[in-house]
Amino acid sequence: MEDETSWVTHSYNHISREVTHYEALSDITNDIGKDSLVSLDLILPDDLLERILAYLPIASILRARSVCKRWNEIVNSRRFLLNFSNILLQKPWYFMFTNSGDPGSYAYDPILRKWYSFKLPCIEAPNCTVASSFGLVCFMDSESRSELYVCNPVTKICSKLEEPPGLKFTDYSALAISVDRKSHCYTVAVAKSKQVPDDFLQWDLSIHVYDSETKSWVTSVTEVLTGWRGGDESVICDGIFYCLIYSTGVVGGSENRHCLIMYDLSGRNSHASLIRTCIQVPCSLTCGRLMNLRDKLVMVGGIGKQDRPDIIKGIGIWLLNEKEWWEVSRMPHKFFQGFGEFDDVFASSGTDDLIYIQSYGAPALLVFDMKQRQWRWSQKCPVTKRFPLQLFTGFCFEPRLEVIP
C-alpha cells in the first residue's frame, strides 16, 4: 500500500508539472525531437491516470484537456466525472466583475491563489442578481426581472427557466438556489416584495419555488407585512429558505433595521406566519449578507454605530444555531482599515469553509477561512481599466464539472 501511494504521488507530481508546462514543452519539441520526450502517463493504465488527474486543481484539469487526445477523452468521460465528484479537494472560486460595462471579469482560485480571465455565459453580470449552490449558478435580470438562467460557469452549460408569476411587477426580489449533491436536482426560490397600493405601511411578500424535476413554479406562501419589506438577500440552507426583511421606519418597536424570516420548503409548516418566524439580527447592521456554509446559516454584517446605525464601525461574522446567533469572528482593525472603513455596504458570499468579502469601491478581496479562523487578502486582482464611479462586486461558486443544469 505504501509503494502504491508513493507511485501515485510521484505520478501526480509528474502529471501536474506536465499540465503546467505542456505549452512550453510543445514549443521546443521541434528542436529536440519527439523521441527525446518520454511521458510517464504513456505507461499508466487509464484507471490510474484518471485517479491522478482527478486530484488536480480544476484549472489544471481544464488545461489537461488540451494536452493530448487521450487526456481529453479521459477528462470528459463519465467515469472520470464520477471520480472527480468523490474528491473534495476543490475550494470555491470568487467571480469579480464591475458595473462599468468593461468586458474584463476574473475568477479567483484560492488553491493556486491565481486570477483567471473569466466570462459568464447567458447573461451580462452587472445587471443581474446571483445565487449559487454546488457548481450551479442562478442569474436573474435585476432590471427587467424577465429572465432567469441556471448554468455551470465552468462548463458553460446553461438552461433558461420559465419566469415565476408576477416577477416583473415587484419592487424588490431575492433569489436563492439549492442543489442536491447526489441527484443534482435543484430548487430555486424567489421572494417578491411589493408595496400594497394606497397603503405605505404594508408590503405584500410572496415566496415562489421552482423544482427542476417538475420544471414548474409553485407559489408557496403570500403574506402582508406591516412596517417591514422584503429585499434582495436570501439563501436556502438545509431545506429552509431564509430571507432578510428590512424595516420601513414607519412602525416603532424595533431598534434594528434588519430581521430574518424563514420558510420550510418541505411545506410542513405551510400555514405558519412568516413574521412569527422572525429572528432578530445580533446587533444593529448597516447591511447583512446570508450564505450557506456546510448546511449552516452564516451571516456577514456591517456593524453600525450605536448612535448612528447607518455608519459602519466594523464587520462581523455570525452563525445561526437554532434561533440564536453565535459570533464567529470580527474583522481585525488592520484589515478593516484596508478594506474601506467608510463603506457601509459591501459584497460578501461564501460556501464550504471560505467567506469572501469585497468593498464595492475597489477590487481588493478579503478571505476568511471558517475552519482555521484566519483572515487574509487574496492575490491582487489584475483589473486593467478604471472608470469614474466604477463599482466592483462579485460572488463565489463551487467549480465542478459533473453538475448539469
Q: Please say whether the beta carbons of 109 and 93 come within 8 A.
A: yes
Is CATH 3.30.110 what the domain over 120-277 is classified as, yes or no? no
Owner of C-alpha cell 447592521: 285
**pLDDT on residue 292:** 97
Read off the pLDDT of residues 137-182 as tens digits, 9 standing for 90 and up. Answer: 999 876 666 688 999 998 889 999 988 877 777 889 999 999 998 8
Crossing angle of helices 46-54 and 78-85, in 10° steps, is 40
CA–CA distance, 309 with 247 (Å, rounded to integer): 13
Name the residue ranges covered by the structural domains of the chain. 2-85, 91-116+281-392, 120-277
Read off the pLDDT of residues 366-380 as tens digits, 9 standing for 90 and up. Answer: 999 999 999 999 998
DSSP for 272-318, written as a single string: S-TGGG-EE-SS-EEEEEEEEETTEEEEEEEEEPSS-TTSEEEEEEE
Lowest mean pLDDT across 47-61, 291-305, 319-333 = 47-61
Sign of CA dihedral 117, 122, 123, 125: negative
Confidence at 27, pLDDT banded by 50, 70, 90: very low
**pLDDT on residue 75:** 84
Q: Please say whether the beta carbons of 131 and 150 come within 8 A.
A: no
Say yes or no to pLDDT of 28 above 90: no
Lowest mean pLDDT across 157-166, 281-290, 382-391, 396-405 = 382-391
DSSP character for 255?
S
Least Cα distance to 385 among 136, 43, 173, 101 occurs for 101
Lowest mean pLDDT across 74-83, 119-128, 143-152 = 119-128
Say yes or no to pLDDT of 216 above 80: yes
Say yes or no to pLDDT of 276 above 80: yes
**How many residues does the structure list for the chain?**
405
Say yes or no to pLDDT of 318 above 50: yes
Least Cα distance to 320 among 349, 297, 302, 300 occurs for 297
What mean pLDDT do residues 283-289 have? 92
Confidence at 261, pLDDT banded by 50, 70, 90: very high
Q: Please say whether the beta carbons of 235 and 291 come within 8 A.
A: yes
Say yes or no to pLDDT of 398 above 60: yes
Read off the pLDDT of residues 355-367 as tens digits, 9 standing for 90 and up. Answer: 999 988 888 899 9
**pLDDT on residue 47:** 81
